[in-house]
């Protein structure tokens, strides 16, 4: 497949580099090294699919236009909708079997995938509780950019954890409870803590963590699983703790990964598989959109001026 890359920021550049010669053109109205400033400058017969890495507010318009052209689209997360009906309406506008696929590449981290296999096999027994943490220190990179708008860290990092939580621990009709949502150093929210409505699954995200953190802990009747790190940050570990009865130190198994971050490559391969099968990702998008909107609506009204 030949690709058009729209948006030449950090993610667009990463995608273009990964595609190599399969990237036939880049488009960005601002980046001086982009080959084109407008999509209209690129003939549609030059590409089969699109990588879309633009500000969240612009995504829907672009995706609609490309689907009408019959071009499938990889959307850099998140793809936000006001409701499920909006996602379904967008899908109806697609021509020639085109789909959009929202990229959540952390699903393709080797130990995240191993965690999924273990959970599906019942490794922890009956689920009791879980905890997800994703933080970095990029808040100052936001200042003065389009990221200082909308719901901030809920859109930027929270969407990853909402996606992983729903994928690793699927539960019907999940609702969420906000515990903390505030701006620490930016004009929008840069820290958040929330949970499932029953308080069994906890989430913490922020761009005001001065050391990168990615953590998943899952506890159940038979033991627990503990994931730390990402390959893009130098490596990851997954510990499996088998419960000892009646009590005592659990039997521990630990594995680790290091090396190349292959999640982007594998994510792209999943997109191409879905294009061939005609499988889009609208359902996941609208559920994540609903969760983000619900959490933002629970934020206390600021009275400090």
Q: Which tens digits make up the pLDDT trace of 147-163?
A: 888 899 999 999 999 99
Q: Within this chain, do residues 140 and 65 fall inside the same structural domain, yes or no?
A: no
Q: Order of strands across the sheet with 72-76?
A: 23-27, 3-6, 49-52, 72-76, 100-103
Helix (H) or strand (E) holding 127: strand 127-135
Clarify whether residues 116 and 251 are in a common domain.
yes
Nearest 5°: CA angle at 250, between 245 and 254? 150
- pTM assigned to the model: 0.93
Look at residue 273 and tell me if it is in a domain.
no
Is the domain of 233 the same as that of 89?
no
Q: pLDDT by residue for the chain (305 residues), tens digit each? A: 999 999 999 999 999 999 999 999 999 999 999 999 999 999 999 999 999 999 999 999 999 999 999 999 999 999 999 888 888 899 899 999 999 999 999 999 999 999 999 999 999 999 999 999 999 999 999 888 888 888 999 999 999 999 999 999 998 778 999 999 999 999 999 999 999 999 999 999 999 999 999 999 999 999 999 999 999 899 999 999 999 999 999 999 999 999 888 999 999 999 999 999 988 767 789 999 999 999 999 988 654 44
Is position 291 within any domain? no
Q: How far apart are CA 203 and CA 161, in angstroms?
A: 7
Rounded Cα gap, residues 151 and 296, in angstroms: 7
C-alpha distances out from residue 251 to 131, 216, 224, 227, 245, Å: 21, 19, 10, 16, 11
Query: Do 141 and 248 share a domain, yes or no?
Result: yes
| 28 and 128 share one domain | no
Residues 42, 98 share a domain: yes
196/237 same-domain check: yes
pLDDT tens digits for 247-268?
999 999 999 999 888 999 999 9
Question: Are 102 and 284 within 8 A, CB to CB?
Answer: yes
Q: Please check whether residues 119 and 244 belong to one and the same domain.
A: yes
Count the domains in the chain. Answer: 2
Query: Considering the domain boundaries, does residue 257 fall inside one?
Result: yes
By residue range, what is the domain housing residue 44? Answer: 3-103
Same domain, 88 and 122: no
């Amino acid at each position: 497949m030949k690709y058009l890359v729209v948006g030449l920021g950090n993610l667009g550049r990463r995608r273009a580099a990964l595609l190599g010669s399969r990237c036939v053109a880049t488009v960005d109205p601002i980046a001086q090294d982009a080959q084109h400033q407008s999509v209209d400058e690129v003939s549609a017969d030059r590409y089969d699919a699109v990588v879309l890495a633009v500000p969240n507010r612009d995504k829907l318009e672009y995706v609609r236009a490309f689907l009408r052209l019959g071009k499938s689209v990889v959307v850099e997360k998140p793809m936000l909708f006001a409701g499920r009906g909006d996602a379904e309406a967008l899908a109806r506008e697609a021509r020639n079997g085109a789909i959009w696929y929202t990229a959540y590449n952390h699903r393709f981290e080797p130990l995240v995938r191993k965690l999924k296999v273990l959970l599906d096999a019942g490794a922890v027994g009956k689920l009791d509780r879980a905890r997800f943490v994703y933080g970095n220190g990029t808040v100052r990179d936001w200042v003065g950019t389009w990221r200082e708008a909308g719901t901030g860290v809920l859109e930027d990092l929270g969407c990853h954890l909402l996606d992983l939580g729903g994928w690793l621990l699927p539960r019907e009709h999940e609702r969420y409870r906000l515990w903390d949502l505030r701006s620490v150093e930016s004009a929008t929210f840069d820290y958040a803590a929330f949970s499932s409505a029953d308080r069994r699954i906890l989430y913490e995200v922020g761009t005001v963590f001065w050391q990168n953190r990615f953590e998943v802990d899952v506890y159940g009747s038979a033991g627990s699983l503990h994931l730390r790190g990402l390959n893009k940050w130098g490596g990851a570990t997954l510990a499996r703790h088998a419960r000892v009865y009646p009590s005592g130190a659990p039997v521990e198994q630990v594995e680790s990964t290091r090396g190349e971050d292959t999640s982007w490559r594998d994510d792209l391969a999943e997109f191409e598989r879905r294009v061939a099968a005609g499988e889009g990702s609208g359902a996941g998008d609208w559920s994540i959109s609903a969760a983000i909107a619900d959490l933002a609506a629970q934020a206390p009204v600021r009275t400090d001026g």
